[in-house]
Structures are given as structure tokens and as C-alpha cells.
Amino acid sequence: MTVLLEKFNTPFETVPFDKINQNDFLPALKEAIKISKNEIDNITQNTQKATFENTIIALEKSGALVERISGILFNLNSCETNPELQKITREASPLLSEYGNDIMLNKQLFEHVKAVFEDKETNKNLDIESQSLLTKSYKSFSRNGANLNENDQEKLRQIDKELSEKTLQFSENILNETNAYSLEIPENEVVMLAGLPDYVLEMAQATATEKGKKGYVFTLHQPSYLPFMTYAENRDLRKKMFLASASKAFQNNENDNQENVKSIVALRHKRANLLGYATHADFVLEERMAGTPQKVQTFLNELLQHAKPVAEKQMQELTKYAKNQGFTEDFLQRWDFSFYSEKLKKEKYQIDDEALKPYFQLENVVLGVFEVAKKLYGLSFVENKEIAVYHGDVKAYEVLDEQNKHIAVFYADFFPREGKKGGAWMTSFREQSGEIRPLVSIVCNFTKPTPTKPSLLTFDEVTTLFHEFGHALHGMLANGKYQSTSGTNVYWDFVELPSQILENWCYEKECLDIFAKHYQTNEPISQDFIQKITDSANFMEGYATMRQLSFGLLDMAWYGKVAQIDNVATFEREISAPTDLFPAIEGTNMSCAFAHIFSGGYSAGYYSYKWAEVLDADAFEYFKEKGIFNRQIADLFKENVLSKGSSEHPMVLYKRFRGQEPSPKALLKRSGLL
């Protein structure tokens, strides 16, 4: 029998990655689905009166093996994949979709759940978290077709099957496109790479060696792409790299995502209509703090009114600066922005990423964020080499509280590789419920160490690490009775609060003093540098806000307005026009590589980043008033936000922490948009 179906005989029942054969995934998954269906049969065939215990709790406990195996498979497919594993995942996806529908469209099961839900007298005696689980269980059925007739249920099954295939293909196409492109510069033409710092050149040489080439190789992975766009003086090469990145999955080749975009949008719209909703956005937002597409649109437009004048003024300043530097065209192009904004930032604040990076050695930043968690929540992180990992770059830590009680296992995976998606995210290999403690992971794509330098982070990468670690804390400090209402299983526009609030600590001297030390001299970062970081925090914030709003508005347009699109590029250009700060570039497209909303979980939800910024700015103002390491405020945040999951409505929890509803003024003030 495969290890995937056994109880894991490992420290804290962690995943035995070293014993898993990827060919076992499909057989194990099929067996797990069979076991889960028997668990469901036990509920539906029970002749006793349906109760919270024999129905809702039994349902909550069912399918644990399916969840475990599919979780391992899909996590590995994101961070350590290969063609065979991709093929296995493609086969597993429709199986899981069908399995999910077999449960959600099970008439007898729904009747049991509905009977418990409608037993108002008995339910009065349930505690608040159990009531939340009951409501969530009932809604998961009603929102997934349980009230439909058999004919419409069959239509729903087909839609979900197609969606699972299309979204997976969308994601694979982006990874294929990212891996397919490289810019190769021969050794004797290094003059073409003027402006690039030594570490970037050294990394490009290491990449060339890995690929069996000579000279310098640059890729579309973020640690290679971003510094190239920021420092390369050769404008033609910047343009070349930009066009390669901005045309990913939009090149009319085998990895083109245009038809996938149209299919995913149409299928989600059709699904929403089938369930009685006007649009996919109406369906999604029913279960969000925002509530309706109209409220999201109003929220984004209000921010747009504040951000647009500031952004336009900033772009005028940047264009004027570029012309003083010898730029001769009327307009800056997108491949000019990072280059000139970095120069202007350096001139205005006497600061740049290159000057700061020596103070942000990855290992020190990791120890720093651990220390922040200790000061705020009393946590300790102890590396445990007995815990198996899925790649040599990954480290595993045991997480302990102040009484040395086991809280979680934390995996850290920081470097890019060919089998790994771009970007940064937090995930779980097991979620918390009752006495079961979580296995939490953060995955990033930071610059690898070179033969002469350790991994040194840009300040943006420091905030990224803190951001993902904030999500991890939400998972690790979860303390719910039920998995479905625990940890990060909260409204999508609330889930970014724990991550975004932690970024604020990166700008505070009291925090930077903990870990920002020069990697060669161990000299602490100077007060002068800290002041410059603080002073430059809002640099180009109008532009950055406009960029986020453009993504949010594009997302709402795809899912809140239309059912069918003839031309992906034309539609995107029309929607993006009010937020565009640059001329449109033929042959480029955002939607075809917009994984968040087409293959991630953010469809009709991208606005939540800005929504959560309102929450985090307001919440951090409270910490600032009382002290950023004030344990009393940290305990309030832990008890009412981090540990509570979705046991109660997020606004109730937020007000219990803060004592008031959040005000957008804190964000506008912090961003310099007021």
C-alpha cells in the first residue's frame, strides 16, 4: 500500500516527501475518493434524526484523505513540478471536480443538512462557531447546486469539469512561457549590460552555467527580470525583456491563453446564472465583506478619484526627470518606468535598493521575522532536519509557544527553479482543527546566493517575506474547533489583513534594528537609512495604487459585466483606458497571464488587496498608538483575528479587536493620497 493512504509515521505526522512516488498519486486519490463516498453513505443511510453531530460534524470529518492527497499533489505541482506530475494533476483535476459535485449534488445528503439547518430550536443551543459551521455547510450546498433540478445539476457538473481543466491549463501555459524565454548575452558583449549591478551579472552567469551556456542569461523569473528592468541602461534590451514578459501566453502559439480566458469567463458566468445569480461577481461577493459588485465598484472608483491626480502628477515629474537625463521621446513607455523611477528615488532620497540590499541578507530577515513573531505572540522557530522536505532548498521548522508547546510546522521555500511557479504565496499541507496542529508553508522566488554573495533581498522582497509570513501566522495561530471555520478559511477580502498588516513593521526602526545588519561587517542599519526608507515609503504611491486599481477594475469587468467576449485584447484595452498611465502596446496583454483571477482564487476578488489595506492601515494605527510590540494589542489581534478564523463575521471580529469600524482615511493618509 502506498504511504499516501497510511498514517504518516513521521515527526508531527508531517508529509513523508522522501517516501512518496508520484505515480502513486492517482491510485491513492481514487481509493481515497472511494473511502470518502463510504463516509458520506454512512451519513445518508443513518435512519436516526439528522443532528449537528451525526450530519454536520460527520460531514466535516469526511474526505480527510482526499484533501490530504490532493493538497500534497497540487502544492507540489505549484512548487516542484515536472511534465509527468503536470500530467497526473491534469488527470486528477476532473476527478476531484466530479467528486466535489457528487457530494454537493447528493440529494439525500442535502436533505440531512437542510433538516439540521432548519431546526432553529435545537440550533439555539449551539455555540457561535458551531452555528457558523452549520450556516457555512448549508450554504456550500445551496451555492453549489443542491437546490437545482437533475437536468441543471448535470449541466453544473459539466461546467465544473471544464473549469477545472481550463484553469489548470491556464496556469501551465504561463509556467511554460516563463520557462521558454531567455535573453542570452555573450561574454564578449558585456558592455550591453551597462548599469546592471555585479550581483545581477553574477546571477546571470550562474543561470547560464545551469543551462549549459556561456556568457549571461536573463529569464522572466522575477529575481532576474525585475533587476534587469530596474538597472539595465540599454533601452532596447529593456524593451525586449518587457515585451517577452507582457506577451506571455498571448502569442498565438500552443501556450496561448486567449481562448482559456474567454472559456473561463463564459463558464463562470453560465454557472452563476444556473445558480440564480446575475453574474459570477454577484455569486462570489455574496460571501464577502463587500457584499455586492456595486459596492466594490464604488470602493474602487472612490480610491481612483484620490489616486489618479496624484499618479498623473508623479508621472509628469518622472517624465520631466527622464528628459533631464537625456530621454528624448514625448512619453515614457512601460519599460522605462522602473529604470527612471529607481534613479529619481535615489536622487530624491539618496537611497536605492543596491545600497540597502547588503543590510537584508535573507537568513537575517528570516530570523528577524521570527523575532517579530516572538515579541508579538511568544512564538519560537526551531529548525528540524528530521522533517522531510520536497526540495533541498526547503527548510522545516517546529513552531513552539512560550510554554514550549507545539503550535505548528513551518516550511520555508525561497528560491526560484524551473519546476516552480513565479510569485510568492502561503499554503498548507494540513490545516488546524481541534487538537490537530497545522503544517504551513510560504513559497517565494528570491535571488539565490552566488559563489561570492549570500541571498540579499531588495526592500520590496523584505516586505514580501513579511507579507507571506503574516498569512503563515494566520494559519499557524489558528485555534478553531473545525477546519472549515479555522485559520485562513475566512472571507477573501479579510484574508489579506494578517499579511498586509505585518508589512508595516518593515518601516519601523524598532523592527529594522532587530535584523537589518550589513552582511559583511554586521553593522546595524543606520538611522539615516531608516529615515530614508520611511521618507520614500510613498514614492510613486499614486502610480502603485493606480496599478492595483487597474487590476481590480479589470477583474470586476471580466466577472461583473459580461458573459461573452469576442476579443480579449480589445476588451482589456477598453476597460484599462481610465487607469492607463502609459500608451497601449500592441502584442501585450495582462489578462492572459493574470493567474490570480483565472487560475488562482481571486476571481471577482482582486479588489480585496485594497480593501484589506484599509483594514491594515486602520489596525496598524492602533499598534502605533500603543507601541508596535505592545503585547496587549498583539493579544487582542491574535485572539480576535488570527486565531478566530471565520467563527464569526469578520466585521464583528475586527470591531472586537479595534473597538470601531475601519476608516479609509488611515489608508489615504498613509499613502499620501489625501
Helix (H, G, I), strand (E, B) or coil at 147: coil
Q: Name the DSSP class of 660.
A: S
What does 50-80 look like in DSSP terms, one character per residue? P-IIIIIIHHHHTTHHHHHHHHHHHHHHHHS
Cβ 345 vs Cβ 351: under 8 Å: yes
CA separation for the pair 567, 477 (Å, rounded)? 46
Burial pattern 155-166, b for ≥16 Cβ within 10 A else e, equals: bbbebbbbbbbb
For residue 269, the surrounding DSSP H or E stretch is: helix 258-274
Selecting among 162, 172, 468, 496, the annotated active-site residue is 468
Cβ 145 vs Cβ 153: under 8 Å: yes
CA separation for the pair 157, 95 (Å, rounded)? 11
Cβ neighbours, 10 Å, residue 21:
10
Helix (H, G, I), strand (E, B) or coil at 557: helix
Residue 541: phi, psi to the nearest 5? -65, -30
CA separation for the pair 413, 11 (Å, rounded)? 19
Helix (H, G, I), strand (E, B) or coil at 570: helix
422's grid cell: 513565479
Cβ neighbours, 10 Å, residue 412:
24
With a CB cutoff of 8 Å and minimum separation 6, the contacts of 448 are 203, 206, 223, 415, 416, 455
- Tell me, yes or no, if 468 is annotated catalytic: yes
CA separation for the pair 231, 226 (Å, rounded)? 9
Rg (CA), the chain: 25
CA separation for the pair 52, 119 (Å, rounded)? 10
Distance in angstroms between the alpha carbons of the first and the last residue of the chain? 63
With a CB cutoff of 8 Å and minimum separation 6, the contacts of 198 are none
HEC-encoded secondary structure of 239-257? HHHHHHHHCCCCCCCCCCC
Quick one: which of 579, 601, 561 has its CA closest to 590? 579
Q: In what order do the strands lie in the sheet with 406-413?
A: 380-383, 395-400, 406-413, 439-443, 425-430
CA separation for the pair 182, 164 (Å, rounded)? 30
Task: Calculate helix-pair angle for 334-349, 293-324, nearest 10 degrees.
Answer: 70
HEC-encoded secondary structure of 463-530? HHHHHHHHHHHHHHCCCCCCHHHCCCCCCCCCCCHHHHHHHHHHHCHHHHHHHCECCCCCCECCHHHH
Residue 299: phi, psi to the nearest 5? -60, -50
343's grid cell: 534613479
Q: Name the DSSP class of 449.
A: P
Cβ 260 vs Cβ 571: under 8 Å: no
Give me the active site residues, please. 468
